[in-house]
């Protein structure tokens, strides 16, 4: 069954496949970035969840309503413009607004363990969470493959913020540098890596914006989990 955005469609791998024409198998079946989704996920309260099962299909449906509202110029007049600015280094024909990206065919894999519950097990007092990652894009055919964690699906608002963040990478925001590269950068050189997260400020989800998030990794949250084992 397909779910449709503005002129496009999205597929939740394992739950809703939006047509064989752009479904694809995982490049690396054992890779944590290419997991299928279960029908429900439970995010513990210690990881900012409700501790109750979340219907993944419904969560995506509600999240996409929020993403579509984010692209509404009447509500957020700077959102589409900001997305176009993220692609400023691309040719004009390859630059994409959020509205344009909602016309893409979007495939969502789950990022995490085979059993989603294992994502939230703390071993030796440490744990790390990656909310999402862009796996592949094709701006010519209008396709993006994105991996999102069960952690991000703890609520429609959290999922919508993650989808906007990842689509900002598709638009042109740089991804995560290596630890060595990041350590060598001054504040000015680091600034572009906050571009995807800053999209939330222009697209109606400023309350979800976290200034510590760069690229695709919840850097501040990882540090806190390493120190305490809880959120």
Q: How confident is the model at residue 161 (pLDDT cuts 50, 70, 90)?
A: very high
Q: Is the pLDDT of residue 125 over 60?
A: no
Q: Is the pLDDT of residue 16 over 90?
A: no
Tokens coding 209: 């914006």
Q: How confident is the model at residue 9 (pLDDT cuts 50, 70, 90)?
A: confident
Helix/strand/coil percentages in the chain, nearest 5: 40, 15, 40
> For the chain, what are the domain ranges?
9-228
Has this prediction a pTM greater than 0.85?
Answer: no
Contact criterion met (CB below 8 Å) for 16 and 7: no
Report CA-CA distances (Å) from 228 to 48, 156, 221: 14, 27, 11
How far is the C-alpha of 108 from the C-alpha of 74, rounded, in Å?
Answer: 28
Tokens coding 75: 């509500």
3-state secondary structure at position 50: coil
Q: Enumerate the β-bridge partners of residue 133.
A: 147
* Closest to 17 in 3D by CA, of 38, 36, 2, 34: 2
Contact criterion met (CB below 8 Å) for 98 and 104: no
3-state secondary structure at position 81: helix
CA 166 to the chain's CA centroid:
4
The pLDDT > 90 percentage for the chain reads: 37
Q: Is the pLDDT of residue 34 over 90?
A: no
Tokens coding 175: 């991804």
How far is the C-alpha of 18 from the C-alpha of 106, rounded, in Å?
Answer: 9
């Amino acid at each position: 069954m397909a779910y449709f955005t503005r002129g496009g469609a999205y597929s939740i791998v394992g739950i809703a496949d939006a047509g064989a024409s752009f479904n694809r198998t995982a490049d690396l079946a054992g890779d944590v970035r290419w997991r299928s989704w279960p029908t429900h996920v439970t995010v513990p309260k210690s990881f900012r969840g409700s501790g109750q099962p979340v219907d993944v299909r419904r969560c995506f449906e509600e999240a996409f309503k929020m993403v579509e509202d984010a692209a509404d110029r009447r509500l957020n007049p700077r959102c589409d413009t900001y997305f176009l600015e993220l692609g400023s280094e691309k040719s004009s024909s390859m630059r994409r607004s959020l509205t344009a990206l909602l016309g893409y065919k979007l495939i969502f894999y789950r990022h995490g363990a085979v059993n989603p519950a294992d994502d939230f097990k703390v071993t030796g007092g440490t744990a790390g969470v990656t909310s999402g990652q862009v796996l592949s894009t094709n701006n010519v055919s209008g396709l993006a493959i994105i991996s999102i964690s069960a952690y991000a699906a703890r609520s429609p608002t959290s999922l919508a913020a993650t989808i906007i963040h990842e689509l900002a990478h598709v638009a042109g925001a740089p991804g995560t540098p290596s630890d060595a590269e990041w350590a060598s950068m001054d504040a000015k050189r680091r600034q572009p890596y906050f571009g995807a997260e800053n999209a939330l400020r222009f697209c109606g989800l400023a309350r979800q914006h976290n200034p510590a998030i760069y690229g695709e990794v919840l850097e501040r949250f990882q540090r806190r989990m390493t120190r305490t084992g809880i959120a």
